[in-house]
Amino acid sequence: MKIAILSRNPRLYSTRRLVEAGQQRGHEILVIDTLRAYMNIASHKPQIHYRGQALEGFDAVIPRIGASVTFYGCAVLRQFEMMGVFPLNESVAISRSRDKLRSLQLLSRKGLGLPVTGFAHSPDDIPDLIQMVGGAPLVIKVLEGTQGIGVVLAETHKAAESVIEAFMGLKQDIMVQEYIREAGGADIRCFVVGDKVIAAMKRQAKPGEFRSNLHRGGSASLVKITPQERSTAIRAAKVMGLSVAGVDILRSQRGPLVMEVNSSPGLEGIETTTGKDVAGLIIEHLEKHAGPGLTRTRGKG
199 contact partners, CB below 8 Å, separation of at least 6: 190, 191, 270, 271, 274, 276, 278
Distances (CA, A) of 133 to 51, 111, 145, 160, 248: 50, 18, 20, 12, 20
SS3 of residue 259 by DSSP:
strand
User: Smallest Cα–Cα separation from 148: which of 106, 205, 65?
Assistant: 205
100 marked as part of a ligand binding site: no
| Helices 278-289, 13-24: inter-axial angle, 10-degree rounding | 60
Residue 75 to residue 30: CA distance in whole angstroms: 19
161 marked as part of a ligand binding site: no
276 marked as part of a ligand binding site: no
141 marked as part of a ligand binding site: yes
Chain Cα centroid distance, residue 61: 17
9 marked as part of a ligand binding site: no
Residue 283 to residue 59: CA distance in whole angstroms: 12
213 marked as part of a ligand binding site: yes
Residue 301 to residue 285: CA distance in whole angstroms: 24
179 marked as part of a ligand binding site: yes
81 marked as part of a ligand binding site: no
**In angstroms, what is the C-alpha Rg of the chain?**
20
262 marked as part of a ligand binding site: yes
Q: Which residues pair with 95 in a beta bridge?
A: none
125 marked as part of a ligand binding site: no
Residue 137 to residue 160: CA distance in whole angstroms: 8
- Binding residue ranges for ATP: 141, 178-179, 187, 211-213
- Binding residue ranges for Mn(2+): 248, 260, 262
- Binding residue ranges: 141, 178-179, 187, 211-213, 248, 260, 262
- Binding residue ranges for Mg(2+): 248, 260, 262
